[in-house]
Amino acid sequence: MTSLPVLPPTQTAVPGDDADARPRKVHLLNVTDEGLKDWLAERGYPAFRGKQIRRWLFSGRAESFETMSDLPAKLRSELAESFDIFQASEAHVSTSRDGTEKILVRLADGGEVECVLLRDGDRRSICVSSQVGCAMGCVFCASGLDGVDRNLTRGEILEQMLRLQHRLPAEERLSHIVMMGMGEPLANLPGVLAALDVARNPDGLGISPRRITISTVGLPPAIDKLAASGVPYNLAVSLHAPNDELRSQLVPVNQKIGIEPVLAAADRYFASSGRRLTFEYVLLGGVNDSEACAHELTRVLRGRTVMMNVIPYNPVEGLPYRTPSKESISRFRQILEASGVNVMFRQRKGDEIDAACGQLRRNRGSIGEKSPAT
| DSSP label of 20 | G
Quote the strand ranges of the chain, DSSP E. Answer: 26-27, 83-84, 89-95, 101-106, 112-120, 123-127, 131-133, 148-151, 176-179, 212-216, 234-238, 277-283, 306-312, 342-345
Distance in Å, CB of 200 to ligand SF4, minimum: 23
Distance in Å, CB of 135 to ligand SF4, minimum: 7
Q: Is 134 annotated as a binding residue?
A: yes
Nearer to ligand SF4, 75 or 263 (CB): 263
Neighbours of 299 (CB within 10 A): 11
Q: Which residue is nearest to ligand SF4 (CB)?
A: 144
Q: Is 127 annotated as a binding residue?
A: no
Q: Is 295 annotated as a binding residue?
A: no
Q: Is 293 annotated as a binding residue?
A: no
Q: What DSSP line would sit under 138-165, residue for residue? A: -TT-STTTT-EEEEPPHHHHHHHHHHHH
Distance in Å, CB of 160 to ligand SF4, minimum: 15
115, 127, 293, 357: which one is catalytic? 357
Cα–Cα distance between 150 and 129 in angstroms, integer? 12
For residue 357, indicate whether it is catalytic.
yes
| Element at 254 (helix H, strand E) | helix 254-257
Distance in Å, CB of 310 to ligand SF4, minimum: 15
Burial class of 115 by CB neighbour count within 10 A (0 to 12, 13 to 18, 19+): buried
Residues 6+ apart with CB under 8 A from 186: 192, 214, 216, 219, 222, 223, 226
114, 156, 159, 280: which one is catalytic? 114
Nearer to ligand SF4, 162 or 180 (CB): 180
For residue 42, indicate whether it is catalytic.
no
Nearer to ligand SF4, 49 or 247 (CB): 247
Maximum CA pair distance of the chain? 69
Which residues are near ligand SF4 by CB under 6 A?
134, 136-138, 141, 143-144, 182-184, 217, 357
Q: Is 215 annotated as a binding residue?
A: yes
Nearer to ligand SF4, 40 or 237 (CB): 237
Nearer to ligand SF4, 144 or 324 (CB): 144
Query: Which amino acid, 266?
Result: A
Distance in Å, CB of 331 to ligand SF4, minimum: 24
Instruction: Cite the active site residues.
Output: 114, 357
Annotated binding residues, written as ranges, equal 134, 138, 141, 183-184, 215, 238-240, 314
Annotated binding residues for [4Fe-4S] cluster, written as ranges, equal 134, 138, 141
